[in-house]
Amino acid sequence: MESVGSIILYTIVCLAIVIFSVLAVTTRKILRAATYLLFTLFAAAVVYFMLDYQFLGAVQIAVYAGGIVVLFVFAILLTSHPGSNSERLASKRRVLGLIASILMLGVCGYSLLSRCNLFAGKPEMEALDMQTVGTAMMGTGAGQYLLPFEAVSVLLLACIIGGIVVARKR
């Protein structure tokens, strides 16, 4: 049995996720879309907090909201003239998009709903401390993630190089 507060919080967060997602993809102002994205990401971070993954929520805010959205904003400012980028969708495109997303929603929704163990409540979990996360990140045993950690660093390096090469003027 959840506390009323958490249920209210849950409702707000869920509504935020749904509404801002829809708005992010339907608004005709690109900068607004980025803003709605930011809100959605914040809402996701709240969900992480609600599910007791505080570290993850922090990362979400830091990386996504702090990094990626800023990147978007820069990019939008670089590529668009203010006010002129309102766009009118062709209805055919919209129908196609709707078909695909509703189909997706139906298929995935059905498969989620058909799993009865998803109708269980939140089990108890030990509070996740930073030590555990840190050990898991640096360890080499089972359930530990040194290899992905190293690998993702190579990936990030490559993406930096790639980004620079592509973005460089000549």
Which of residues 82 and 157 has its CB atom nearest to other proteins in the complex? 157
Interatomic CA distance for residues 41 and 11, integer angstroms? 16
Query: Cβ-count burial of 50 within 10 angstroms (0-12 exposed, 13-18 middle, 19+ buried)?
Result: middle
Query: Cβ-count burial of 98 within 10 angstroms (0-12 exposed, 13-18 middle, 19+ buried)?
Result: exposed
8 binds other proteins (CB under 8 A): no
- Distance in Å, CB of 28 to other proteins, minimum: 10
Q: Number of residues interacting with other proteins: please give it, by CB under 8 A.
A: 109
Per CB under 8 A, contacts with other proteins among 58-87 are 59-60, 63-64, 67-68, 71-72, 75-76, 78-80, 85, 87
Binding mask 21-60 for other proteins (x = CB under 8 A): xx-xxx---x--xx--x--xx--x--xx--xxx--x--xx
Q: Which residue has the tokens 């980025």?
A: 34
Which of residues 83 and 167 has its CB atom nearest to other proteins in the complex? 167
Phi, psi of 49 (to 5 degrees): -60, -45
